[in-house]
Chains A and B, each alone.
Chain A
Amino acid sequence: MSDLVLSATQMEVKRERSAIGSLRLVQTACILVIALVIVSPLFMLLVASLKDDRFQILADMGSFRAFWVSNPTLSNFAEVGNLSGELAYGRYLLNSLFILACTVGFGLIVNSMAGFVLAWGSLRGRALILSVVIALYVIPQESIIMPLVIMVSRAGMTDTFAVQIVPWVASPLYIFLFYQFFAQLPKELFEAAEMDGASVFRIYRSIFLPLSLPALATVSILMGIEAWNQYLWPILVTQTDYARPIAVAIATFFGQDSIYWDRAMAASVLMMIPILALYLAFQRWFVSSFVGSAVKG
């Protein structure tokens, strides 16, 4: 009797295994199809940026030549990579990098300090400030920019780097992310340091901050992507090339009668490189902490 049951279970296991085997095959095939859809446009961009002739780029689009370049050239990059003049994409790239570095740099400091005090401070208004911060999170950037444009132009801040950095340094979302991360660390950490006579800032600086690499990586990537991809705000507050970011500069390709796809492609590749480097550098921490901190319901 028990033998019979056992063999029935074994058969089932065997059947399930072979079913799983063919299922895996289907799943892998699906993944590869999705990968093709995701990657081929990016690959096409890279290939096209290495082609010299903009008419050829469009002609190649209709065939598999869109994914192949027979004599790659960097001439497009040389054409758009200037630091001044009409196609000063090198300069716009540096502008964007500067804005990115300042926004993320100041943002990490300001938001993590606030998050730390909200989690571990002794201020009486902490709970209130925390709930205000959370409520502010609902306000979309789009619905405050109208008055903000007036404010910054009255303050004479248009066409500066500061106007693209300072307003976006403090952010309810990142304060909350840091708050949440710090709050889950064991309180013995804080108490032991306090016993040793360390000040609040010292505890934050020497104990909690070094422990928060995953949070720092997550916020760096999210803030970095956000700062890098800003489009609406800079078109409203920059009029000259002085502080113009590369996203705005690339969009101007579309305003012309016939689009210089070769240059647009090269400028686009230029724009992808730094954010890709940032992503690859922090990805390890990013995915784990992202997964750890996202929706808990």
Chain B
Amino acid sequence: MTLQQPALAATAALARPARRRDKGRLFQEIGMLAPAVALLTIFLIVPFLLSFWTAMTNQPLVPRPTPVRFIGFTNFLRILKDDLFWISLWNVSRFTFWILPVQCGLAFATALLLHQKLPFRNFFRGLFFLPAITSMVVVCVIWGTLFQYPTGPLNQVIGFLSAGRIQPIDWLGDPNWAMFSIVLLSAWQAYGFQMIVYLAGLQGIPDELYDAARIDGANAFQRFWHVTMPGLRPTHVFVLVITTIQAFKLYTQVAVLTQGGPRSSTETVVHYMVRTGFEEQKLGLASAVSVILFLIVLVIALLQRQLLRRFDV
């Protein structure tokens, strides 16, 4: 989970200008920087560049006697012709469409509530963050039981609240419901992070603005609409973008609970990639998927910069 905004600070001036250099000091600095640079090069830059190369070869998972051949964009064409890839892209889009209002909306509402001077608010802040530190696999164990069909807790609660009018739902077994069920447990797990980010955003709005608005006779709703919302614009963009990127990387929940089923209704891009690479053992093909995934994430990140620049004025 990421809560920083490095792209923005890229232009920020470095802490202080370079000064008189002497050799011993230079060596020390290089020595302190070297481990990070070496590790990032070996485990991030090299595999990243390799993924572009592998994507254009017929690299298998297990080495074969026949040499690996360069096949150009064949892998990309094959993926773009594969219905399952488009289904997985459609599924993560559906997931994004649901998770944004559910998770971010809930996080925003909770942050607004906890920003008030309510009793025990620090306790609640800590409490609401608990699911976020819970491993996704544990979340799957918990929600796997909550989703039990037909007499699991969730169905019981819904039956009780609707006085039996709503029939039990086969949360994970019904293709119409499976992705939405994944949305529910994902939102439950991750919304604490967004809540904290929103709290930070709310604390960043100076009190003087509220005082000034009050003196001008603005009511609570006007203060919210004309002070809080504009003040939170960068936060909104950040939260929406991070959540969207996370959504496109959806994997663990689906791999543990549904394996992409039923009837491919929860197949995701990363799950599709892992299956291609490790079950079908076509690493070249899987690398092509990973390149496409990277491009999607890159576009979203660039979109964020553009949006922020527009808002920043």
Contact (Cβ within 8 A) A41 B37: no
Contact (Cβ within 8 A) A122 B29: yes
Stretch at the interface among B83-91, B96-104, B122-130, B173-181: B122-130
Question: In angstroms, how far is the closest chain A Cβ from the Cβ of B95?
Answer: 15
B144: A residues at CB distance < 8 A: 254, 259
Measured CA separation A175–B45 after assembly (Å): 16
Measured CA separation A172–B312 after assembly (Å): 25
Contact among A137, A144, A226 with B48 in the assembled complex (CB-CB below 8 Å): A144
Contact (Cβ within 8 A) A147 B50: yes
- Return the CB mask of A102-114 against B: 1 if under 8 Å, else 0: 0000000111011
Contact (Cβ within 8 A) A201 B28: yes
B197: A residues at CB distance < 8 A: 294-295
Known: A62-B151, A123-B26, A295-B3. A201 touches B32 (CB 8 A): yes
Measured CA separation A170–B24 after assembly (Å): 25
Report if A290 contacts B (CB, 8 A): yes
Number of interface residues of A (CB under 8 A): 111
Contact among B24, B39, B113, B134 with A199 in the assembled complex (CB-CB below 8 Å): B24
Contact (Cβ within 8 A) A41 B142: yes
Report if B206 contacts A (CB, 8 A): no
Contact (Cβ within 8 A) B273 A142: yes
Contact among A63, A168, A204, A232 with B156 in the assembled complex (CB-CB below 8 Å): A63
Question: In angstroms, how far is the closest chain A Cβ from the Cβ of B256?
Answer: 5
Contact among B8, B36, B109, B287 with A111 in the assembled complex (CB-CB below 8 Å): B36
Report if B18 contacts A (CB, 8 A): yes
Contact (Cβ within 8 A) A117 B32: yes
B28: A residues at CB distance < 8 A: 199-201
Contact (Cβ within 8 A) B35 A110: yes
Beta-carbon nearest neighbor of B134 in chain A: A272
Contact among A62, A111, A146, A200 with B286 in the assembled complex (CB-CB below 8 Å): A146
Contact among B61, B140, B151, B291 with A251 in the assembled complex (CB-CB below 8 Å): B140
- 29 A-B pairs with CB atoms under 8 Å apart are A28-B119, A30-B113, A31-B124, A44-B145, A58-B145, A61-B156, A118-B33, A120-B16, A122-B19, A130-B10, A140-B245, A142-B249, A143-B290, A144-B47, A147-B51, A148-B47, A149-B277, A151-B46, A170-B39, A173-B2, A201-B28, A231-B135, A236-B274, A247-B135, A247-B137, A290-B196, A294-B3, A295-B5, A295-B200
